[in-house]
Structure 1
Amino acid sequence: MTSSLPLLAGAALVAGLLGAPQTGATTTEHGRWAVSASRPQPVAMARPAAKTAVVADRDDVVERVAARGTPDQRHVLDYWTPRRMAAAVPIDLLGTAGMFGKPGVPLRQRAARTTGTRWNAGGSVTRTAGTRWNAGGSVTRTAGTRWNAGGSVTRTTGRVFLTLGGLDFVCSASSVRSTNKDLVVTAGHCVKDGTGAWADNWTFVPGYDRGRRPYGQFTARRMFVAGPWSRSADDSYDIGMVALNHRGGRHLGEVVGGQGIAFGTARGRQTHGFGFPAEPPYDGEHLVYCAGPVRDDPHGQTDDQGMRCDMTAGSSGGPWLSGFDVATGRGTITSVSSFKYSDDRGTMYGPYFGDVARELYTAAERS
């Protein structure tokens, strides 16, 4: 498998280069750094473990305790000032400074064996790059349009703010219906840097819009990733789930609701993907969506499915909804935005939610 440049999975290397200390747990499986063929080898460092840092390893689930007590939660909430939120960036923007790959390379990318061609819509298919769309008709295919139709998705989808290697980054995520009413789903690399460090200062802002936080922000209390992602940064399992702390005594699900989630569904379905892309032509301040059928990875390097989508860095972790109802803004989460091939920037890929994703969800919703 050829090399890839992840949106967040380069941060362990950044931490090694900068010598930035971590405030949370950094112990990986078996107490050592693992090396993935698709990742640059991180620089191993001795890091202090926080008193709340606990890492548990199951067959296909790896978890870490985050901000549980009031002091830890307050630290995270105080950390994310409006200025810090505005300054947080997708990690690949560091590429423009020459730290990762070629300048200006967008999103988390993989090198494909074949050259992808851009998909040109014909007839009734709409293809845009950040234009406004108002409800009044169903757009069944779009490669990147601002969502203005309202509905539940505007509340359940939000931005994630996190720290890796002492640097602040952004992702996307969605509230999902669960037993504990506190669960969000996102990409694994928005929670843990593959074989490397866990994220710190993790917080979710549902309903984010132009800096506004209409439902407040929710800090992480427990974070989960799939075992194959933690062991080898396997993009087929780039899935993360985070159980959140209450806010004002209320669960996230009570405040904004949650989308449904399903596993082992039929492949190739019509899908709507949502997120907050932050690289041009987008600015991360608005909810954007793509829509269309998904297809298997034509390069055979992952078990993922791809959708025509122009969304850029910052949209990673955003939900992919099948059976989406544009009138209500509700659907069923069957994947999340994960990566793009470097020579096909018009297709976004997301992991297939199978048995491992189901086990991950079961562990997270019971936490």
Structure 2
Amino acid sequence: MSLLPLLLLAAAPTAYAADSPRRSTAASDDAYWTAERMAAAHPVTDGVRAGARPTAPAAEPPAPSHPFDGLPPVGTFFWTDDTGAGRSCGGTIVRSPHRDLVVGAGHCLRSPKPRRHLSFVPQYHDGQKPFGLFPVERVYIDQRYYDLGTGAGARWDYSVVRVGPRADGAEAQEAAGGFGLGVYPGYEHRRVRLIGYPGTDDATHPKPLDCRSATHRYTSTDPAAPGDFLEIACAGYIGGTSGGPFLVRSPTGYRLIGVIGGYHTGGDFPDISYSSYFTADILALYLHAVRGDAPAQPQ
């Protein structure tokens, strides 16, 4: 289901709230995130998928993946955690009225611990920032995901993130483009493109992975993590790929129908990945972000 008809039914987006000025830290964050610091950033550790076992009991062999230079709207969030260590997680620019929204995984940004230099780099690869850097202003996560956690709340493992302009004033979508946001997209798709930035505790890979495979409906058998999820078999998607997009073709280009996360924060194996199913709940987050409403907060 395309996002556009639903947006046409919604009220026109209002200006950002007066109590939330758009203060860009792009210049200072851009200077901080050197190629060396980005390469040294590790995947998030808050509930991130383990990928500990080498193979999954899949019904069919996973499709192969290969490194590439990425797509302009798909990139990486970078930040430093409360210990000062660099962290990273994937995200994708989606089309929006203010051209400033990125969708990622909820578990990446759910922690209430302080984050510094939190920014988004479109098409990050090989230590490069081909479209510059966009500082994060607000993170929208469903209140149920905050309250229930990464297991019981796995159905809401996504985030809509508002980013500020680049140092020269350009918005993220103006600079790198964006994809449509698809809600209620269905589970069965013959050809889905999965992109992810793999990393380990030792090093972050310099390039993202690319894979094309079919998606299916997976109904969780774990009572601690209930729900229905998109499932895809793509090889090599280890820890660090969280937030990477599930993309399908549409007449207007790619649509984003999922992000690596959800069931067991993306899965227990490197060759089977999951996404929370996009419903009206993610549309509500999107509209809150468009209007500049106050986001939910951890209790």
Q: What's the TM-score once normalised by structure 1's chain length?
A: 0.63
How big is the shift at 1:154? 1.2
Q: 1:155 to 1:83 in 2, by over 3 A?
A: same
Q: Please say if 1:315 is aligned against 2:247.
A: no
Helix, strand or coil at the partner of 1:361: helix
CA distance in 1, matches of 2:34, 2:249: 37
How big is the shift at 1:187? 0.4
Helix, strand or coil at the partner of 2:232: strand
How big is the shift at 1:119? 5.0
2:57 equivalent in structure 1: 117
CA distance in 2, matches of 1:206, 1:262: 20
Residue 276 of structure 1 aligns with an amino acid whose one-letter code is Y
Residue 284 of structure 2 aligns with an amino acid whose one-letter code is E
Offset from partner CA, 1:107-126 (integer Å, 9 cap, x none): 51499xxx9414544xxxxx
CA distance in 2, matches of 1:169, 1:281: 13
CA distance in 2, matches of 1:335, 1:73: 28
Q: Please say if 1:359 is aligned against 2:275.
A: no
Sequence identity, in percent? 25
1:332 equivalent in structure 2: 255
Helix, strand or coil at the partner of 2:210: strand
Q: Please say if 1:179 is aligned against 2:132.
A: no
Does the CA contact (< 8 Å) of 2:36 and 2:127 recur in 1?
A: no
1:216 equivalent in structure 2: 132
Paired residues in the alignment total: 259
Q: Which aligned pairs between 1:198-217 and structure 2 lie closer than 5 A?
A: 199-217=115-133
Q: 1:226 to 1:143 in 2, by over 3 A?
A: farther
User: What CA RMSD, in Å, does the superposition of the two structures yield over aligned residues?
Assistant: 3.1
Query: Which of 50, 55, 72 does residue 155 from structure 1 map onto?
Result: 72
How big is the shift at 1:66? 9.3
Q: Give unpaired runs (5+ residues) of structure 2.
A: 1-18, 293-299
Q: Give unpaired runs (5+ residues) of structure 1.
A: 1-64, 95-99, 101-106, 122-126, 128-141
Helix, strand or coil at the partner of 1:297: strand
Does the CA contact (< 8 Å) of 1:272 and 1:324 recur in 2?
A: no
How big is the shift at 1:295? 2.0
Residue 211 of structure 2 aligns with an amino acid whose one-letter code is C
Offset from partner CA, 1:200-237 (integer Å, 9 cap, x none): 32111112121111111111112111111111121111
CA distance in 1, matches of 2:278, 2:86: 28
Q: 1:75 to 1:213 in 2, by over 3 A?
A: closer
2:16 equivalent in structure 1: none
CA distance in 2, matches of 1:146, 1:67: 39
Does the CA contact (< 8 Å) of 1:268 and 1:294 recur in 2?
A: yes
Task: Name which structure has the greater RCO, CA cutoff 8 Å, separation 6+.
Answer: 2
How big is the shift at 1:173? 0.8
Residue 229 of structure 2 aligns with an amino acid whose one-letter code is D
Q: 1:199 to 1:235 in 2, by over 3 A?
A: farther
CA distance in 2, matches of 1:280, 1:260: 33
1:61 equivalent in structure 2: none
Q: Which aligned pairs between 1:200-279 and structure 2 lie closer than 5 A?
A: 200-233=116-149, 234-247=153-166, 248-270=168-190, 271-279=192-200
Residue 183 of structure 1 aligns with an amino acid whose one-letter code is L
CA distance in 2, matches of 1:216, 1:323: 26
Does the CA contact (< 8 Å) of 2:91 and 2:104 recur in 1?
A: yes
Helix, strand or coil at the partner of 2:178: coil
Offset from partner CA, 1:273-313 (integer Å, 9 cap, x none): 11211239994211212222222224333322211123112
Does the CA contact (< 8 Å) of 2:39 and 2:204 recur in 1?
A: no
How big is the shift at 1:198? 6.0
Residue 230 of structure 1 aligns with an amino acid whose one-letter code is Y
CA distance in 2, matches of 1:283, 1:321: 23
Helix, strand or coil at the partner of 1:154: coil
CA distance in 2, matches of 1:84, 1:280: 14
1:291 equivalent in structure 2: 212
Residue 183 of structure 2 aligns with an amino acid whose one-letter code is F
Q: 1:67 to 1:221 in 2, by over 3 A?
A: farther
CA distance in 2, matches of 1:349, 1:197: 26
Does the CA contact (< 8 Å) of 1:307 and 1:349 recur in 2?
A: yes
